Structure 1
Amino acid sequence: MRRYFLFYMKRLFLRLLLVAVIFTIAAAGAFAWWANRPLALTASPIEVVIKPNSSVASVGRQIQRGGVRMDPRLFALLVRLTGHGADLKAGGYEFDSSATPLSVIGKIARGEVNHYVLTVIEGWEFRKMRAAVDAHPALKHDSRGLSDVELMKAIGAPEPAPEGLFFPDTYLFARGSSDLELYKHAYRAMQRRLTDAWNARAPDLPYKSPYEALIMASIVEKETGQPAERPLIAAVFVNRLRKGMMLQTDPTVIYGMGEAFEGNIRKRDLQSDTPYNTYTRNGLPPTPIALPGLASLAAATAPAPSDALYFVARGDGSSHFSNSLPEHNRAVDKYQRGK
């Protein structure tokens, strides 16, 4: 009986093993068939932008969002099986109706870009954008050696100070394109976004011009811990302007310090007057202090309905908003001083 049982179990194991082998071969065959099968596209040809420093999973999602009907999970699996996990390159890629998963991966791994990309981050100061442009190897650097004022003239912008006037976004360009064309594109993009926000602004805002709204948007961009709080932060500063109160916002002080800022703001920094020190001067600073994104433009021109005049960081990325100084002082004691 025991011998029969062992014989039976052995046969069962072999059958299960055979089924597993057949299943594995079938799955591998199906996967290989899929990897070499033309993909469905929402249009043909189609251009997909892969952003810099994207993970394999993120690249798969960007391809899918760009109009290539491919499961990002299968894409990630195929990338790892082909050993291209560390080879995927940023850029703009064009695919037509003959594209297969394998050819898509190969094209991105080889960097066969139709366009190159440069991503300008929300909240960057212009000097950081300029450093990124200067460092891009695919651009023709016609702005090299120009001062900021000369650069603005070269792109036909009437403003002498560039801060805040370039829209943070991902920009595509062909190899050898002039960096001045990229600056023009980013400048015009900000003008369009600012005009749209200004035309949709709330009534009775304390701004004399769209440029002042842009200054406020840059402050909101630098003060924001939680994206959802942008309209409330804008409301605090708008309420302060209406009441003639000083804005008293650290990011403007830091901007005014320039390269003298060493990472920590001190009491004497708040007391040292510069055109950007909103602890020593009323009203808005003379220029923006960063490149604001679309959400900050919207918040500056349509603040939340709130009477708040103060806010303090809770320490978890969010802020506590107060309508009065005593309430604010209690919040400072609780969240900053640990009382």
Structure 2
Amino acid sequence: MNKKWAIILSFFLIASCVTAYIGYQYYSALFHDNVDVGDRTNIVYVYPSSSVDSLITELEPYFVHRGSFNKARRVLSFETSDLKVGRYDIKTVKSNRDLINLFKGGRQSPVKVVIYNENTVSDVVGKISKYLYIDSVSLESYVMQSEALAEAGFSGPNLLALFIPNTYEMYWSISGESLVNRLLRENKVFWERKNRLTKAKEVGLSPFEVYTLASIVDRETLASREKPIVARLYLNRLKKGMLLQADPTVVFANQLFETRRVLYKHLKTDSPYNTYVYPGLPPGPIGISSISGIDAVLNPVDHNYLYMCSKPDNSGLHNFASNLSQHNRNANAYRRWLDAKGIR
């Protein structure tokens, strides 16, 4: 081999080695492990104002080699325009390629949104917004003005009946519109299950009325075994045209959610929610109803009770009566117990 070809061959060998080395470096940047969560939080949020540079700064503690990520970023053309707003779980991500594709693909990790036992729309919306990017003021405004909710009958006093208590998986970046549509679907599915719509007709109530009565039952007793009894008691009173005289409606009318004792002056409050003053059911729920409360109204125990009073102890249970004289004896015993305990 002459000297000329030796030089050419050497050049190609060197070039090949350099190319192979560079290729290996970029291969390593893409596919080798470079993300180590360790004992740090594994959740990363991308906001509308986030940029790739700000994201890299946030992720820097997780990188084994930041330079390696920058190489991968260039190869995959990862730009701010590729970012999708959301909540991302990087716990199982190891390579730069997988990390970049996670954000470019908008593969969010859902949050568990718990809806349970709130008294007002503001309360439940405030609780929901704590899980999501949307703020409570914007979400409440959207819910209050939603045409989709109004068309489905969820407006004014009936708006609370939209919320079926459960734990829902949602994306952190969900919009107000998508949230409303999700809740509407969940509500529809709930009432279509277990013959609930048929059972509502059998007890002579609409789903909204069932929900409203259930919200009272829930606040009368926490004992699941008592709920079907309490539900029938109120259905008996409605059938006879009697005032419901449900203390939880008085609490709601007076906004005394922390009180342990309803006083005579509270019973006189002029509010359509005060069932000591106005006949029939209140105009809407007095809080979110539990599923057990709704099903208690739909499956009430058969009895002739018309009155109930808390037992004079700390059990949270009740004495029931079918006539006023027996009820008065139960009520007097309970009042004496409250006085002895100094509960005002």
Q: Pick the TM interval, shorter chain.
A: 0.5 to 0.7
SS in 1 for 2:273: coil
| Structure 1 position 279 matched with structure 2 position 303 | no
Residue in 1 that maps onto 2:197: 199
Q: CA deviation at 1:313?
A: 1.0
**What letter is aligned with 1:191?**
K
- The alpha-carbon deviation at position 219 of structure 1 amounts to 1.2
Task: Tell me the CA shift for residue 336 of structure 1.
Answer: 3.1
Deviation of the 1:282 alpha carbon: 0.8
Distance 2:181 2:161 in 1: 14
Give runs of aligned pairs for residues 19-168 of structure 1, distance below 5 A: 114-122=109-117, 124-139=119-134, 143-144=138-139, 146=141, 148-151=143-146, 153=148, 157-161=152-156, 162-168=159-165
Q: TM-score, normalized by length of structure 1?
A: 0.60
Matched, 1:292 2:289: yes
The Cα of 1:231 is off from its aligned counterpart by 0.1
The residue number in structure 2 matching 1:44 is none
Q: Summarize deviations over 1:207-264 as a string: whole Å, max 9, x none.
A: 2x22212211111122123121110010110000011110001211222234x76735
Q: 2: CA distance between counterparts of 1:145 and 1:121?
A: 17
1:272-307: per-residue Cα shift (whole Å, max 9, x none)?
A: 211111001111111111111221111111211111
Instruction: Give SS of 2:169's match.
Output: strand
Pair 1:138–1:145, CA change in 2 (3 A): closer
Q: Is the 8 A contact 2:125 2:139 kept in 1?
A: no
Return the alpha-carbon distance in structure 2 between the equivalents of residues 145 and 235 of structure 1.
35
Q: Which residue of structure 1 aligns with residue 41 of structure 2?
A: none
Q: Is residue 232–residue 304 contact of structure 1 (8 Å, CA) maintained in 2? A: yes
Number of equivalent positions: 233
- Letter matched to residue 122 of structure 1: N
Partner Cα distance (2:202, 2:226) in 1: 21
CA contact (8 A) 1:231 1:303 kept: yes
For 2:112 and 2:132, the matched residues in 1 are separated by 11
CA gap of 1:179–1:241, structure 2 versus 1, over 3 A, is same
Alignment partner of 1:321 is 2:316: no
1:175 counterpart = 2:172? yes
CA contact (8 A) 1:255 1:289 kept: yes
The Cα offsets for residues 122-176 of structure 1, whole Å up to 9 and x where unpaired, read as 3543221111123334447794461653046468643322122211111111231
For the residues of structure 1 that align with 2:263 and 2:334, how far apart are their CA atoms?
19
In 2, are the aligned partners of 1:141 and 1:178 still within 8 Å (CA)? no
Code of the residue aligned with 1:245 in structure 2: it is M
Q: With structure 2 as the length reference, what TM-score do the two structures score? A: 0.59
- Given candidates 296, 300, 305, the residue that maps to 2:302 is 305
* In 2: Cα distance, 1:147 partner to 1:140 partner: 11
- Cα distance in structure 1, aligned partners of 2:139 and 2:181: 15
- Give the drift of 1:200: 4.3
Q: Identify unmatched segments of 5+ residues in structure 1.
A: 1-90, 97-111
Give SS of 2:154's match: coil
Secondary structure in 1 aligned to 2:316?
coil
Residues 1:155 and 1:114: Cα distance change in structure 2 (over 3 Å): farther
1: CA distance between counterparts of 2:136 and 2:222? 35
**Range 311-320 or range 182-191, more displaced:** 182-191
Taking a change above 3 Å as real, the CA distance of residues 203 and 321 of structure 1, as seen in their structure-2 partners, is farther
Equivalent residues of 2:129, 2:135 under 8 A apart? no
- Cα distance change of structure 1 residues 180 and 267 upon mapping to structure 2, 3 Å threshold: farther
SS of aligned partner of 2:141: coil
Q: Specify whether residues 241 and 280 from structure 1 end up closer, same or farther in structure 2 by C-alpha distance, changes over 3 A only.
A: same
Q: 1:113 to 1:320 in 2, by over 3 A?
A: farther
After alignment, is 186-195 or 233-242 more displaced? 186-195
Contact 1:152–1:160, Cα closer than 8 Å, also in 2 = no
5+ residue gaps, structure 2, are 1-86, 93-106
